[in-house]
């Protein structure tokens, strides 16, 4: 899934990370920990192909197999859940869009509010919708940045169930307790 050798990223004179090696296959779980501003998000963006590394070799899967959840849930607040997922389902060319989107909204407890604007949702509901968007195209690789942020107990259990599906996963978090046991590899930023 991911093969990186000597990966480095700089912003001007500031070194974010250097000399990173990452090998992640299907079913692997890489836990990236560290305090705020230590480079976790930057690493995830590089692994998603959203930012180019400054140095090193990086082999990534096709971007249609990547499911990326950033700090924000990455959904339009002025649109409804149906409109948000409908847009991405179209861009990802998902067959039976309506049925697939409906199933995801049911699974994440958002079916009842499918016609309401996302901007009226709590942060936790937006995070659930963000997870729906991530899973919409059934990606083989999940890149999740602080995924438990804002989720209530039920929302966190839903995310646990997603992680149980054993896709190749990279989770960046400053609070690793919830996912510590799943990790097959660990990377700690200082």
Partner 1 sequence: MTYLSDVGALLRKDLLLELRAKETLPAMLLFVISALAVFHFALPKGTSDTAARGLLWSAIVFTALLGLTRAFVAEREQGMFDALVLAPCDRSALWLAKALAVLAFLVAAEVVALPAFAAFFAGVDGRTVAAVALADVGIAAVGTLFGAMAVAGRARELLLPLLFLPTAIPVVVGGVGGYLWFLALYDAIFALLSWAAFEYVVVET
**Residues lying near partner 1 in the complex (CB under 8 A):** 45, 48-52, 62-64, 66, 68, 70-72, 74-79, 83, 87-88, 90-93, 117, 133
Considering the complex, what minimum distance in angstroms separates the CB of residue 52 from partner 1? 5
CB of 151 to partner 1, least distance (A): 18
Closer by beta carbon to partner 1, 83 or else 160: 83
Closer to partner 1 by CB, 22 or 48: give it: 48
For partner 1, the closer CB: 70 or 155: 70
Strand order from edge to edge, sheet including 14-24: 14-24, 2-11, 55-59
The tokens for 111 are: 């079916």
The C-alpha atoms of residue 171 and residue 159 are separated, in whole angstroms, by 12
Segments in 59-122 forming alpha helices (H): 81-91, 97-107
Give least dist CB 4 to partner 1, A: 17
Q: In terms of CB distance, is 77 or 186 closer to partner 1?
A: 77
Please say whether the beta carbons of 85 and 132 come within 8 A: yes
CB of 72 to partner 1, least distance (A): 4
Nearest to residue 94, comparing CAs of 41, 54, 145, 137?
137
Q: Choose between 87 and 163: whose C-beta lies nearer to partner 1.
A: 87
Residue 69 Cβ vs partner 1, minimum distance, rounded to whole Å:
9
- Classify the C-alpha dihedral 172-160-176-122 as positive or negative: positive
Conformation bin of residue 72: beta by default, left when phi > 0, alpha when psi is -120 to 50: beta
């Amino acid at each position: 899934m991911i093969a990186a050798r000597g990966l480095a990223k700089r912003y001007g004179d500031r070194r974010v990370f250097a000399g990173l090696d990452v090998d992640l296959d299907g079913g692997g779980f890489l836990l990236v920990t560290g305090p705020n501003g230590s480079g976790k998000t930057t690493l995830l963006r590089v692994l998603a192909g959203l930012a180019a590394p400054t140095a090193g070799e990086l082999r990534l899967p096709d971007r249609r197999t990547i499911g990326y959840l950033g700090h924000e849930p990455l959904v339009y607040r002025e649109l409804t859940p149906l409109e948000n997922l409908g847009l991405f389902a179209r861009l990802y060319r998902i067959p039976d869009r309506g049925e697939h989107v409906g199933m995801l909204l049911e699974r994440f407890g958002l079916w009842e509010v499918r016609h309401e604007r996302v901007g009226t949702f709590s942060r936790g509901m937006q995070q659930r919708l963000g997870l729906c968007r991530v899973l919409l195209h059934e990606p083989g690789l999940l890149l999740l940045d602080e995924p438990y942020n804002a989720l209530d107990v039920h929302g966190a259990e839903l995310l646990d169930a997603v992680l149980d599906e054993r896709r190749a996963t990279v989770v960046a978090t400053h609070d690793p307790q919830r996912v510590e046991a799943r990790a097959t590899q660990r990377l700690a930023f200082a």
